[in-house]
């Protein structure tokens, strides 16, 4: 009798467990169907596509220096050495002083040469010497004087009276500060995009705009760069020897359709796509990209136009089509505080 009761109890317990398992399975299936019926909502931020002007740049760093010689003008700077060995007897200038072409800047032991020129001039006036003798005396005097080969400013003075100098001694430097240039070394891989006449922006506190005037045909084998140069307009406030950042404008696209950089992502196939917002959903839309500047990317795509909304924050990894909740940060003009606005 006892054994029979135990068997009956086991049968009843087993039936109860079976009913429980069946009910649990049905509940799980119902929950799964509810989850399938309720799509996942992804919180995102959005922005509108717009038209803008974008540039392509080749960037580098350069040095301000005197403009080189041209067919019309001499070089804008000169380091002047003593024309002959001697002793400095007189310095006629100071650093920072403006000078005119032909001014005598430094004199060596020239008293005897000056006296000989005076004597030859007097004799020539009296027809007692030849033109050749007079010119020879003047040439000897020139060897004792350092004269300015251009009008400009004395930027450095390296000697003082009583110092001995020779033909290798640079005694004074003169520069025309209104004729300067910026020279830079650009990697050869980027220099192929450069063309003479392209706009150059020197990015100082007060930016200076000019044009590319020289592109070296040779590559520096030591560092793989190409020398480029741009002449600068006068009065730009730049100084010789100054190190500056610059960029050359190699392309300009006006009124092109642009998207925020974070809105353009790459799908699994390597295609650039944007998540285009239509109502409550975002759909991946293929685009081709162009210039990039200041956080914007030029795009083109079928059916994509100015004013379309695209997902920015949350675009990466977004499914091909999904329901979204837009949470764009906005600034309350009354308090200047940032809050979030939800929309569906």
Instruction: Parse the chain into domains and list their residue ranges.
Output: 41-54+253-343, 56-65+178-252, 79-175
Dist CA 316 CA 312 (whole Å): 9
- The secondary structure of residue 316, as a DSSP letter, is T
pLDDT digits (tens, 9 = 90+) for 11-44: 545 555 554 555 555 555 545 454 454 457 889 9
Q: CATH assignment of 41-54+253-343?
A: 2.40.420.20
How would residue 339 be classed by pLDDT, with cut points 50, 70 and 90? very low
Collect contacts of 340-344 with beta carbons under 8 A, ≥24 apart.
Answer: 344/280
- Contact indicator for 120, 137 with CB cutoff of 8 Å: yes
Query: pTM score > 0.75 for this model?
Result: no
How would residue 335 be classed by pLDDT, with cut points 50, 70 and 90? very low
The β-bridge relationship of strands 321-332 and 41-44 is parallel
Q: What is the mean pLDDT of residues 111-140?
A: 66
Tell me what the pLDDT averaged over the chain comes to. 83
pLDDT > 70 fraction of the chain, expressed in percent and rounded: 76
Q: What is the mean pLDDT of residues 314-327?
A: 88
Whether residue 6 has pLDDT greater than 90: no
Structure-block tokens of residue 246: 């610059």
Dist CA 198 CA 179 (whole Å): 20
Whether residue 133 has pLDDT greater than 90: no
Equal CATH topology for 41-54+253-343 and 56-65+178-252: no
Dist CA 204 CA 199 (whole Å): 16
Q: CATH assignment of 56-65+178-252?
A: 2.40.30.170
- CATH T-level topology, domain 79-175: OB fold (Dihydrolipoamide Acetyltransferase, E2P) (2.40.50)
pLDDT digits (tens, 9 = 90+) for 135-154: 765 666 566 789 999 999 99
Whether residue 80 has pLDDT greater than 50: yes
Dist CA 171 CA 159 (whole Å): 6
Q: Given this model, what pLDDT does residue 15 score?
A: 52
Cα–Cα separations (whole angstroms), residue 229 to 70, 73, 124, 212, 246: 13, 17, 51, 6, 11
Contact partners, residue 98, CB within 8 Å, separation at least 6: 151, 152, 153, 154
Structure-block tokens of residue 302: 């079928």
Q: Given this model, what pLDDT does residue 12 score?
A: 47
């Amino acid at each position: 009798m006892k054994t029979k009761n135990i068997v009956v109890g086991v049968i009843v317990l087993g039936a109860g467990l079976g009913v429980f398992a069946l009910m649990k399975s049905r509940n799980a299936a119902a929950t799964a169907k509810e989850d399938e019926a309720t799509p996942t909502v992804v919180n995102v931020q959005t922005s509108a596509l717009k038209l803008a002007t974008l540039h392509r740049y080749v960037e580098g760093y350069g040095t301000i220096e005197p403009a080189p010689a041209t067919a019309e003008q001499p070089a804008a700077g000169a380091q002047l050495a003593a024309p002959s060995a001697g002793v400095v007897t007189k310095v006629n200038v100071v650093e920072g002083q403006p000078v005119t072409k032909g001014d005598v800047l430094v004199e060596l032991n020239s008293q005897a040469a000056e006296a000989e020129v005076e004597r030859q001039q007097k004799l020539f006036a009296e027809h007692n010497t030849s033109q050749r003798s007079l010119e020879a005396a003047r040439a000897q005097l020139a060897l004792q004087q350092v004269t300015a080969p251009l009008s400009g400013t004395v930027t450095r003075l390296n000697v003082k009276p009583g110092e001995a100098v020779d033909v290798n001694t640079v005694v004074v430097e003169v520069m025309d500060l209104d004729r300067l240039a910026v020279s830079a070394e650009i990697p050869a891989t980027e220099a192929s995009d450069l063309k003479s006449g392209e706009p150059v922006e020197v990015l100082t506190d007060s930016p200076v705009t000019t044009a590319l005037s020289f592109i070296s045909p040779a590559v520096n084998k030591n560092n793989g760069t190409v020398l480029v140069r741009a002449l600068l307009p006068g009065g730009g406030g730049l100084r010789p020897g100054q190190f500056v950042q610059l960029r050359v404008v190699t392309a300009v696209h006006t009124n092109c359709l642009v998207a925020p950089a974070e809105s353009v992502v790459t799908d699994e196939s390597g295609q650039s796509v944007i998540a285009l917002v239509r109502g409550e959903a975002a759909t991946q839309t293929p685009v081709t990209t162009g210039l990039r500047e200041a956080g914007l990317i030029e795009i083109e795509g079928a059916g994509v136009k100015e004013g379309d909304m695209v997902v920015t924050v949350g675009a990466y990894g977004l499914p091909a089509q999904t329901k979204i909740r837009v949470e764009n940060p906005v600034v309350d003009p009354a308090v200047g505080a940032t809050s979030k606005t939800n929309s569906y």
